[in-house]
Structure 1
Amino acid sequence: MSVQQENPAFATIDKLNVIYEAGLDGQGRPVIVLCACQLPNPDVMDYDTVLAHVLTKLDTLTESEYVLAFFASPAYYRPSWMWLLKVYRALDRKYKKNLKALYVVHLEGAFRYIFDFANRLMSPKFAEKLFYISHLENLDPILPLRNLNLPQPVIDYELQLPSVNASSSTATVDKRRGTTGFGSTGKYGTRRNTTEVAMAFGRTLDDLAEIDRITGVNIGEDYIPPVLCLMIEHLRQHGMDQEGIFRKSPSSVEFKQVKHALNKRIPVDLKNYDIHISSNLVKTFVKELPVPLLTSRDVHCLDKATVRQERVGQMQGVISRLPRYERNVLQYVLCFLGEVADHSDVNSMTINNLAILFAPNLIHHQPASATDQFTTQEEALKRANIYLTELQNSIDCLQWMILEHRALFSTDKSLNK
């Protein structure tokens, strides 16, 4: 890609500080910082121009060995998959060879899917350069924070995270404060030092039913977790005509705050928050279920079914074998997604779009084995191709299930024909 430094749009992009140099690491190599929170609105700024600007910056900074720190959260805008593929192709061997370490910090949301996929493609040699960092205090001994000139949204995001070791003694907390400035009265402000005990997300439906039973909720055969009902009913009332519902991302800070409150069973009035917080919490709820609603193996029940009646019968068999609470939630979610699709002329969420967004969350795939080692790029690409095929099968299956949800859960045999 030919890039001209005098491009007038570069001056505007440069002010956003998407990418900048931040001194040297302990081995004297330039440190380049890239912040997702600084990415512009793609509806306003052409991302091809952003890429050209980034490459221009890299050309001046990567003539020799360098390290890159990517701060993935908060991210207000998500680049398209096609643009990310274009970025990958534009980064030729020069950039990859001289890159000696890539630190990915605060990996959440959309960028987690991107890196999950990238892990299946990258060579073992490049994977050795990649490090995931969950907290700034873990990064500080490697790349001193005082040199990074981090934007305020990154600092705010860090402050609302649970501590690395919330159960540590006071001495440990003091030590952390002394080295990184993130204790209870640290350099960047006050930070929680309490461990979050989840009472909504990441718990099995049996666990949630028991918690609700203890707190006085009447648990019947048709039990659905009240927290899921709260979010979906809010979306039914206020989000059905919202353009891009389930596609757009909310503020990461507010999302974490609401999720934390719900996990503590603290009453939350969702009307006081961006509607996209509720939609993303629904996706998060089903994704974090320890017992999945469906798996990629369940999807294969449709492989040999060619006619509608047979397909419905095969999937009904899968559904009948689900635990009762998982069966309830699956029916509840599919019915709701069907309602969302009924408003697609306004919200742009067709059944296909909903399936693309929900399949990775609702249908769990077998994770790659820790012993999987790819000795060649060809092997990595082959594994990635298998994953993409499985993902597409899941999307196709979920699209069909949303369309057929009434027949799948009906006892009226005439609906299956």
Structure 2
Amino acid sequence: MEQYVAMDYSLVYLHYGFSSQNRPPVKWLIQAYRGFDRNFKKNLKALYLVHPTNFVEITLKIFKPIIRHDAQLLRNDNPLATSLNPYSAFLVSRSGEPKPGYIYTDGSKPNKTTYSPHQVFGVSLEHIKANNGGNPIPQVLDDCVVYIRQHFLVGPLDSEGLFRRSARTILVQAAQQTYNEGSRVKFENFDDPHLPAVLIKTFFRELSEPVLTYELYDEVLKVHNFTPTMQIESARDLISSRLPEDNYRLLKYLMEFLQEVSAHAASNKMTDYNLGIVFGPNLLWSKFANLASFAAVGQITTFIQLLISNFDDIFVK
């Protein structure tokens, strides 16, 4: 489990079927919780409770006001101090849809029609390009890539677990806010490759549409069934012929960088396979969240691995 909780993760809890006869006692749950190390607790970003009972719903409501904010642990003079929302907890009904009235978060949803011109997280590529001199590659992505490339892909600095290990959530959110306000973060002040690495993943994950587009979702999944040679040919057609130009430029920029990262796998342990696992869910997801979309994660991972390991044969324009 440690390899999964070393980075941001979500937890799905299926409550259906539990009763007083078969559920574990509270004492056991407390002991199990105490046995988890820090990564299990600090990297949990979302908790999904499927088929909760009324008791579970009421319990969440009671404990919500006393959930600790990580921001309270920061000193006031921290240069990136900002408020932090508590972990989100979603109660999922039997229909499979989240209950809108039971989304526990202190953050208000932004108005999608009133984005700041400087905003780069949670917006579309069209918005970024329109406010970035026609360039779909935002400043934050360039800053992160340049910093990691110059400081952690050359020289003796240790970058093991790059893109797998998590950065402090409070710093990630503050850095996002900084770039959304049109300013830049000086990563040299932190001497930590994991902050810019997490920002890269977060940028792609929060795009209004995945960089590989909803339109190509089904086509990407089909590549998994082809022979190795046909996989490359099919991927080349999807990426270099059918992917929109702005998406192509952005994806090519990222894949070229990830190819460099995998070339240093002896020191950072990030092979093209590991990078596929980390980046797959951030580069392509279904428009509809269902069991089939969860089952497709492995196929998406394989496709991203294919793009990294065959970069020169696939990105041909």
TM tier relative to shorter chain: 0.5 to 0.7
Please identify the structure whose Cα radius of gyration is greater: 1
Indicate whether 1:284 and 2:217 are aligned. no
Indicate whether 1:396 and 2:267 are aligned. no
Structure 1: distance between partners of 2:44 and 2:52: 22
Would the alpha carbon gap of residues 267 and 366 (structure 1) be closer, same or farther in structure 2, given more than 3 Å must change? closer
Match of 2:142 among 229, 240, 247: 229
RMSD (CA atoms): 4.1
Alignment of 1:337-356 (within 5 A): 337-356=258-277
Match of 1:111 among 37, 44, 50: 44
1:160 to partner: Cα distance: 1.2
How many residue pairs align between the two structures? Answer: 254
The superposition leaves residues 114-172 of structure 1 with CA deviations (integer Å, 9 ceiling, x where unpaired) of x3xx55xx4x2459835898xxxxx6xx4485xx4x6673535896148xxxxxxxxxx
Would the alpha carbon gap of residues 252 and 297 (structure 1) be closer, same or farther in structure 2, given more than 3 Å must change? same
Match of 2:22 among 93, 107, 127: 93
The superposition leaves residues 172-193 of structure 1 with CA deviations (integer Å, 9 ceiling, x where unpaired) of xxxxxxxxxx9xxxxxxxxxxx
Aligned partner of 1:129 in structure 2 is: 56
What is the identity percentage for the equivalent residue pairs of Structure 1 and Structure 2? 24
Structure 2: distance between partners of 1:348 and 1:354: 10
Structure 1: distance between partners of 2:142 and 2:250: 10
Structure 2: distance between partners of 1:307 and 1:402: 14
1:227 to partner: Cα distance: 2.2
* Aligned-partner residue type, residue 23 of structure 2: K
* Aligned-partner residue type, residue 147 of structure 2: H
* Aligned-partner residue type, residue 348 of structure 1: K
Would the alpha carbon gap of residues 126 and 96 (structure 1) be closer, same or farther in structure 2, given more than 3 Å must change? farther
- Of structures 1 and 2, the one scoring higher in RCO (CA 8 A, sep 6+) is 2
1:251 to partner: Cα distance: 1.4
* Aligned-partner residue type, residue 201 of structure 1: F
* Aligned-partner residue type, residue 226 of structure 2: A
The superposition leaves residues 374-410 of structure 1 with CA deviations (integer Å, 9 ceiling, x where unpaired) of xxxxxxxxx3xx4443111111111111101111012
1:267 to partner: Cα distance: 2.7
Aligned partner of 2:314 in structure 1 is: 408
Aligned partner of 1:72 in structure 2 is: none
Would the alpha carbon gap of residues 97 and 271 (structure 1) be closer, same or farther in structure 2, given more than 3 Å must change? closer
The superposition leaves residues 200-256 of structure 1 with CA deviations (integer Å, 9 ceiling, x where unpaired) of 11121221111123xxxxx36xx5223211111111112335111111111111111
Match of 2:237 among 317, 320, 324: 317
TM-score, structure 2 as length reference: 0.67
Ranges in structure 1 where 5+ consecutive residues have no aligned partner: 1-41, 44-75, 99-107, 134-138, 163-181, 183-194, 214-218, 370-382, 412-417
- Judge conservation of contact 1:331–1:409 (CA < 8 Å) in 2: yes
* Aligned-partner residue type, residue 56 of structure 2: K
Match of 2:161 among 239, 244, 247: 244
- Judge conservation of contact 2:211–2:247 (CA < 8 Å) in 1: yes
1:96 to partner: Cα distance: 8.0
Would the alpha carbon gap of residues 264 and 340 (structure 1) be closer, same or farther in structure 2, given more than 3 Å must change? same
Would the alpha carbon gap of residues 78 and 204 (structure 1) be closer, same or farther in structure 2, given more than 3 Å must change? closer
Aligned partner of 1:258 in structure 2 is: 175
Ranges in structure 2 where 5+ consecutive residues have no aligned partner: 28-40, 75-80, 86-105, 107-113
SS at 1:410's partner residue? coil
* Aligned-partner residue type, residue 357 of structure 1: V
Would the alpha carbon gap of residues 396 and 78 (structure 1) be closer, same or farther in structure 2, given more than 3 Å must change? closer
Aligned partner of 1:7 in structure 2 is: none
1:283 to partner: Cα distance: 0.2
SS at 1:212's partner residue? coil
